[in-house]
Structure 1
Amino acid sequence: MAAVRPRRAVRVRVGTLLGAVRRGLQVDQVAIATVYLEGNASSHFRPVLNSARVYAALLTVLLSSSAAFPVGTAAADVHARDPRGARRSPV
């Protein structure tokens, strides 16, 4: 398995969670035991930076969905018209 860059990893995790919620799957929070070696000397956790990455990933998904909506709506509208511009009746 290839290594995943931290920023991409955040987007992948957020995307996975949002995809599960969109499909109606239940998402639960589960407590896990954390093991700190040598007084947590090697921790790379940065609360502000890591939180910003999560919110940036959420914002990216929100903006891309918002940007795609008018395009999809316009495409569906064009598809629903015949070449003369009249609406087709539903089948």
Structure 2
Amino acid sequence: MAGFWIRIDPQGCVTGSVREDYIGALAEDAHREFTPRVADRRREAAEGWRHELVSPAEFDARAKPCLLRQCDHRSRGGRVVEDVQLGEVAS
């Protein structure tokens, strides 16, 4: 069974995921999927962003709470992404 690549910010909060069978087995490929520009990937690596391959069970334990905003990373100063309402797009 395929695992999941999870994207982890410097505070340890999972901010995204993608299936392994879509990306492949290399962390570099996962990072490229989330961050297409080389300069941005280098900056993120220096800042402490990580990409880890996890099993479905580990995804449920580690990633789901973060992705559902039920983790404790906010209380430790983690980055919070807020939803915003977009206006209507004219056709």
Name the structure with the higher helix share: 1
Larger radius of gyration: 1
Provide the TM-score with structure 2 as the length reference: 0.23
Name the structure with the higher strand share: 2
Provide the TM-score with structure 1 as the length reference: 0.23
